[in-house]
Structure 1
Amino acid sequence: MVKPEVNTVLVSICIPTYNGAEYLKETLDSVKQQTFKDFEVIVSDDNSKDNTLNIVEQFKKCVDVPVKTYNHEPQGIGANWNFCVQKATGKYIKFLFQDDILAPTCLEQMVILAETNEAVGLVYAKRDFLFDTDASHYTSWLKKCGVLHESWASLDVEEGIMPGKAYLRDKNLLDMPNNKIGEPSLVLLRKDVFDKVGFFNTELSQTLDFEYWYRLMPYYNVGFVNDYLLTFRLHQDQATQKNNTKKTKDAVLLPRLLMKNLFWYLHARQRIYLIKEVFYISYFFKQIRKIKKKILKIW
């Protein structure tokens, strides 16, 4: 259970860092520009070897909000995210990664929506993109994952609040893009959500964010702000790119977690998908098809 200090601010901006000096100043500048001022900044650093912590110290000198810096023993990205949450004192958690940029009204708009309904556990929005290399390198990814809120089959999420269970019942839930909410920098969370459903699963490396979004949906409402509140930077050094080699483990573990925690909340189409994935039925039929093709070639 999360045992925070007495709440002194409404929002904790949580910034997990590791060798983030190249973009961190721009990220922190976007924090300074927020129209909403009732927040603290939590920086949890995974033993950076560059100028990351010096940039944070300079930031502290030019803001009037609390800025707390912690050294965290590297244990994977999920462990650092969880550590940030444990150190936060706000009613809400607003993750911000070291290479992303908040729109000036990001906190203001998200908090206004969250405060209209105490049952809201998560608020998300739309995001723009910033490319540090040729944008054509990301054409395929953008086609699949560039616009998330339009990927639902039956949900009208133009603006407002809906039960999380309605999201889970959508027949497209686990179709591409798998993460239909967005990256952690795009999300505002109630702090007490972590008391109810636990922390990010540190066994996952590539899918731990949306596994968490979907895990909380049986218990909370979800709010959507129909505005571009984040600029998401795409570059080759980000953790998303580096973790691509670990997808195989997630591909095995994630369906099992979803079946265990969410199976009866899902659309029948997605239940069938999970049964096939967990019990390797899809793999079995793929192997049968391969064998048939070989036999046909022989004949």
Structure 2
Amino acid sequence: MGVSVSAIIPVYNGEAFLQDAIESILQQTQRVSEIIIIDDGSKDKSFDIAVSISKSSLIPIKVFKQQNSGVSVARNLGLVKSSGDLVAFLDVDDIWMPTKIEKQLALYDELKSDEAFVFTDYYLDYENDTCRAFTGYSDYNVCTQSNFSKEDFQLAFIRRNFVGTASTVMFNRELALKIGGFNNRLNHSEDFDFILRYSQHGCVYAINEPLATKRSHGANLSGDLKLHFWSHYTALKSNIDLTSSFTRFNYRREVEYEMMLSHDMYLIRFCNQVYELSIKKGLKEYFKAILKMKTFRGLKEFSKAFIRKVIRTASFGVIKRT
């Protein structure tokens, strides 16, 4: 399969990680055609580092700078500025294993489908089997079957985002642009939203081998539970709205229900998290959420959670979080 691959790195204040990220691309056993770096208004030396490395790189490196607008806007600019048939994202604080691109392209060649979406297992901080992201989970297995429907994938994916990080994915650039790229309103759960929409048009496949390392540090957004719950709720609401407006993203009824149920559960989690940070603000969010519930099961779970919070509030702290 004679396709070209563009590697895209969005970066914001990533001077401590950028060189390692770029080196992991340059050391691939299967070369990419270009590296696109989008500096999202960094206040450190990220842009200068990228430009400096580009001057001596054997692979073309194109560096662009934008006002700080968030990761989704940066990724979308990367899609526009790249020219490859396929694109592969790498978060600036992550690294690729040397054979990542080679093994993903081998699967594309086997699939005979350039609109497929391929992701891989990855390491969490340390390169040993005990730190593999897929360990202990079986959800992703639906993507390793020889014959499965998009609904099979979507139902499993909505229940748990087993893709996990954009640093393992590879997909068709043109199709990504056709579906509108990443949601600019989201700086968290934007990958979940994008993959769900992409799966309406291209099958999603997994490689059960860790081909990237996701590194944790104090600046990671992934530790912000309030932001995570709200963003995931917003992503689900957006996709439910797409279905109700009868667009080309019109999901099957069973998938729509799973989205609505997950929507309700994430909204409850968001309210719970706000309550733990501020009782007054939390109760306000609960009252606002009542009319947003979309399923009977969600409403039941919401009622139980809300009643528990009312009782805790009335006890003046005597009853603790359970």
* TM > 0.5: yes
- The equivalent residue for 1:255 is 236
Contact 1:164 1:217 in 2 (8 A): yes
Root-mean-square deviation (CA, aligned residues, Å) is 3.3
Contact 1:16 1:44 in 2 (8 A): yes
Say which SS state the counterpart of residue 28 (structure 1) adopts.
helix
Structure 1: any 5+ residue segments left out of the alignment? 1-7, 132-138
1:199 to 166, 181, 200: 181
Contact 2:36 2:82 in 1 (8 A): yes
Q: Deviations over 1:141-178 (max 9, x none)?
A: x8xx932793428x4444767543320133xx333xx3
Is residue 2:253 matched to residue 1:264? yes
State the alpha-carbon separation in 2 of the partners of residues 237 and 294 from structure 1.
33
1:220 to 183, 190, 202: 202
Structure 1 residues 27 and 292: CA distance shift in structure 2, 3 A: closer
Is residue 2:62 matched to residue 1:48? no
- The equivalent residue for 1:287 is 306
Say which SS state the counterpart of residue 114 (structure 1) adopts.
helix
State the alpha-carbon separation in 2 of the partners of residues 12 and 96 from structure 1.
11
- The equivalent residue for 1:147 is 134
User: How far is the alpha carbon of 1:52 from its aligned partner?
Assistant: 1.6
- The equivalent residue for 1:3 is none
Alignment of 1:142-181 (within 5 A): 146-147=133-134, 150-152=137-139, 155-158=141-144, 162-170=148-156, 173-175=157-159, 178-181=160-163
Segment of structure 1 superposing worse, 286-295 or 57-66: 286-295
- The equivalent residue for 1:122 is 117
- Structure number having the greater strand percentage: 1
Structure 2: any 5+ residue segments left out of the alignment? 243-250, 268-291, 316-322
What code does the residue aligned with 2:255 have?
L
Q: How many aligned positions are there?
A: 273
State the alpha-carbon separation in 1 of the partners of residues 97 and 206 from structure 2.
16
- Structure number having the greater helix percentage: 2
Contact 1:211 1:258 in 2 (8 A): yes
Q: TM-score, normalised by structure 2?
A: 0.73
Contact 1:114 1:223 in 2 (8 A): no
- The equivalent residue for 2:107 is 113
User: How far is the alpha carbon of 1:239 from its aligned partner?
Assistant: 3.6
Contact 2:99 2:211 in 1 (8 A): yes
User: How far is the alpha carbon of 1:227 from its aligned partner?
Assistant: 1.5
Contact 2:264 2:293 in 1 (8 A): yes
Contact 2:38 2:74 in 1 (8 A): yes
State the alpha-carbon separation in 2 of the partners of residues 27 and 289 from structure 1.
46
Ranked by relative contact order (alpha carbons within 8 Å, sequence separation 6 or more), the top structure is 1
Structure 1 residues 119 and 28: CA distance shift in structure 2, 3 A: closer
Q: Deviations over 1:104-149 (max 9, x none)?
A: 1111111221233226431001101226xxxxxxx9xx8xx93279
Q: TM-score, normalised by structure 1?
A: 0.78
Say which SS state the counterpart of residue 201 (structure 2) adopts.
coil
